Amino acid sequence: MKNFFLKSNLFYFFYKILKIFRNAKKSSHLGEYGEDIFVRRFFKEYKKGIYVDVGSYHPFKGSLTLDLYKKKWSGINIDLSKTSIDLFKISRPLDINLRAAISDYDGKTFYYENSPINQQNSLIENSQAKKIEIDCFKLNTILDKYHIKKIDYLNVDAEGNDFKVISTFDFQRFKPMLVSIEFNDYDFENLIVSDIHKLMNYNNFKLISKFGVTCFYAQSDIISNIQEMMRI
């Protein structure tokens, strides 16, 4: 039917105008490199799910999970900063919002605070920052505490502590469909030989995209469906 009408010069003129303006709308994004657009597209057919955001920072700025929350997904947001988590408690009351450090053991540790809410707050020692004691957990411990059996999306942005976050994570039990993790290096060859990449491959997750310093890994058994999942 559309092909029939396209033979009309008048109809074809308005069709072209519609196509120009419909696709001229500026795409908005929250992630530093637009990573949230990728996440939104990957899960476009999933009305509900569970996410875990380690190093969640802010409920809006830079968030890769806000769009999922708006779709009625639920999740766990974890950050070192009390201020960050207080913002999440206000903005995401249906989520579990935790102030904690995530690493490869349960216990106590210290983090280094540049300011109350800052993307550079980290477990990595920094003599210029304020040293603060904080509870530390393995990610498995947190998920077990809140009776989470399965997650769909895991985002890790732990400012240099990223490998320790995933090193004790049980990928086979929780088996997220998509994992995004920060690898703070723009040299792709360094990524390929990194501990993060090796661990992800060992757990049957394949690198499917990289935006700036954010790497996206998907379960090996859904790789054949990625093209259809990402279709506009």
Q: Are 217 and 183 in contact (CB under 8 A)?
A: no
**What are the φ/ψ torsions at residue 157 (nearest 5 degrees)?**
-140, 80
Q: Do 197 and 216 contact (CB within 8 A), yes or no?
A: no
pLDDT tens, the chain, 232 aa long: 545 544 677 765 765 556 545 544 555 777 777 899 999 999 999 999 999 999 999 999 899 999 999 999 999 999 999 999 999 999 999 999 999 999 999 999 999 999 888 888 999 999 899 999 999 999 999 999 999 999 999 999 998 899 999 999 999 999 999 999 999 899 999 999 999 999 999 999 999 999 999 999 999 999 888 888 888 7
pLDDT at residue 224 in the model: 86
CA angle 175, 177, 32 (to 5 degrees): 125
- Domain presence at residue 166: yes
Does a structural domain hold residue 111?
yes
Q: Where are the alpha helices (DSSP H) in the chain?
A: 2-6, 9-22, 35-42, 66-70, 82-91, 139-145, 162-167, 171-174, 188-192, 195-202, 226-229
Q: How far apart are CA 202 and CA 169, in angstroms?
A: 13
What per-residue confidence (pLDDT) applies to 30?
A: 76
Total Cβ atoms within 10 A of residue 175: 16
Q: With respect to residue 1, please indicate whether it lies within any of the assigned structural domains.
A: no
Cβ atoms 168, 139 nearer than 8 A: yes
Q: What residues pair up with 96 in beta bridges, in sequence order?
A: 76
Is 132 a domain residue?
A: yes
| 66 C-beta neighbours (distance < 10 Å), count | 21
- Residue 220 covered by a domain: yes
**Is 212 contained in some domain?**
yes
Give the pLDDT score at 6. 47
Residue 192 within any structural domain of the chain: yes
Both tokens of 107, joined, read 């216990």
Q: Residue 190: give the domain boundaries.
A: 27-229
Task: Give the chain's domain count.
Answer: 1
Residue 6 lies in a domain: no
* 215: number of Cβ within 10 Å: 24
> At 78, which CATH number?
3.40.50
